[in-house]
Amino acid sequence: MTHRDLTPYDTGDRLEPQLWPTGEADTFGRVDFDDDESRTVATAYIAREGSAYVLHVVNPSDALTVASDHGRVLALDEDSMSGIEELLSMAARGRADFEHQASYGDYTAEDRAEADRRWVLAQAAAETLRTHTTR
């Protein structure tokens, strides 16, 4: 095979899909993605859950980032999820401290309005994180 005949699978630029044989209901639609050394990097399948379709990635061998037309989704381990929960908790405590200090009149109306605007943005981001890191 010449260099020009090499496929993205041969060069390792793309993982080669290997469809699971069908048999038991749980095997339908599962696909192993193998690297150029025939090592399974991850197994994936898509299933309907309620009114949505959910991409399941099983046993990824390496850190995995999922890219979609709407951006990127980062797969998080338990430690990262705990870190996010702590970060959100710290933000809430910081906001409570700000509210306490503001009750003494330490901030101008403009400062307070800007802080409120930023808090709305932070709350929206926090809600997104909570929605996507539910255990």
pLDDT digits (tens, 9 = 90+) for 87-115: 889 999 999 999 999 999 999 999 999 99
| Alpha-helix runs per DSSP H in the chain | 8-11, 78-102, 109-132
- Can you give the pTM of this predicted structure? 0.52
What average pLDDT score do residues 56-60 get? 80
- pLDDT of amino acid 66: 74
- pLDDT of amino acid 98: 92
- pLDDT of amino acid 43: 92
Contact 99, 119 (CB under 8 A): no
pLDDT at 39 over 90: no
Q: Is residue 70 very low, low, confident or very high in pLDDT (cuts 50, 70, 90)?
A: confident
pLDDT at 18 over 90: yes
User: Which pairing describes strands 31-34 and 16-19: parallel, antiparallel, or unpaired?
Assistant: antiparallel
pLDDT: which is higher, 97 or 23? 97
Contact 21, 4 (CB under 8 A): no
What average pLDDT score do residues 2-27 get? 85
What average pLDDT score do residues 29-53 get? 89
Give me 21's structure tokens: 């044989």
